[in-house]
Structure 1
């Protein structure tokens, strides 16, 4: 009994076993081949972000949380400042309507000017506070555009705190600088540039 040519890959091998690693022997079902790993290197698990990039942090870092809280504090301070400015505008308006002051032309001109400026400042304070709340509310899902907007907001707030509101604005300046630092740090960068889950 002959087993055929041992060098023939299509012939039956001795012992009736299918060939290992190449083509299966004639009449035998094909076996699924197992994937072979590289020479001695373990197979790395797939990265969660896809395309070989990590997805980024899944929980908001502490610095970003602190920046969010500081934005809410800035908004609260804006509201308190707006209340004081409205009270000052109302006081100027009341003084303008006082019978003893109505004859003083210079005071009336100053009251008209300062009253308008105070109302504009109150409106700006309210709008700036609302802007801070909107920024803070979007920290959970915002991307890099929100990060850049928050940094610009912090820089402008810090500058406005220095001039023209030096004494009152010092707290705003400190808070705004902290917001910029916390958002601009590497963990803030990783949070705002993470892959968004939809």
Structure 2
């Protein structure tokens, strides 16, 4: 059988042999391969890096809200402490140098007691305000901060637990601070929160 002169430009073109040219199984020309799988929406993984969220996950948002609440509670605690300072100051002014005897039979100056109490409570009030400011700073940094913000939140919440124990007997707000601080540690330690703070930044 003759297939024609291969050098004849007017001859019938030859058909490619099976197994050559376009892939079999009905693949269309220009599409010899299946498309590459796309990354999940909202995630990217350059060069095999672990998937990193492009939007703050729910666990991080929850921890952030709780930090704001803890900071607000400490503002209230500071206000209550300052009001107690005013009470001690007024009491010291009304004693007029009076003295009384304690359980051990010792004579105690009332002015000294009230002034000492005023100083201690005033220090606690200032400390509560500082603690509130730190909580707000950490919460604000959740949007753009790195892993240090997450670690700082855990440390902050650890001190919040101590603060809750210290004020639970004096103010009912201490119990709320204690519970929220524990929850901040739980949500800050979750894997989605960790991935959020360790995400690549461009």
Partner of 2:63: 67
Partner of 2:168: 166
C-alpha distance in 2 between matches for 1:140 and 1:183:
14
C-alpha distance in 2 between matches for 1:73 and 1:45:
40
Partner of 2:20: none
Compute the displacement of 1:123 (Å).
0.4
Partner of 2:128: 125
The TM-score, its normalising length taken from structure 1, stands at 0.73
C-alpha distance in 2 between matches for 1:125 and 1:48:
41
8 Å CA contact retained: 2:98, 2:109: no
Runs (4+) of structure 1 exceeding 3 A deviation are 40-49
Compute the displacement of 1:45 (Å).
6.0
Matched residues, number: 161
8 Å CA contact retained: 2:147, 2:197: yes
- In the TM superposition, 1:1-198 aligns within 5 A as 43=36, 48-54=44-50, 56-98=52-94, 100-104=95-99, 106-162=109-165, 164-167=166-169, 168=171, 169-197=174-202
The TM-score, its normalising length taken from structure 2, stands at 0.71
C-alpha distance in 1 between matches for 2:163 and 2:77:
13
Partner of 2:17: none
C-alpha distance in 2 between matches for 1:126 and 1:141:
24
C-alpha distance in 2 between matches for 1:159 and 1:190:
28
8 Å CA contact retained: 2:97, 2:109: no
Listed as ranges, the gaps of 5+ residues in structure 1 are 1-13, 17-36
C-alpha distance in 2 between matches for 1:184 and 1:137:
18
Q: Which has more strand, going by share of residues? A: 2
Deviations 1:119-178 (A, max 9, x none): 10010000000000000000001111111111111111112212x223331110100011
RMSD, aligned CA: 2.4
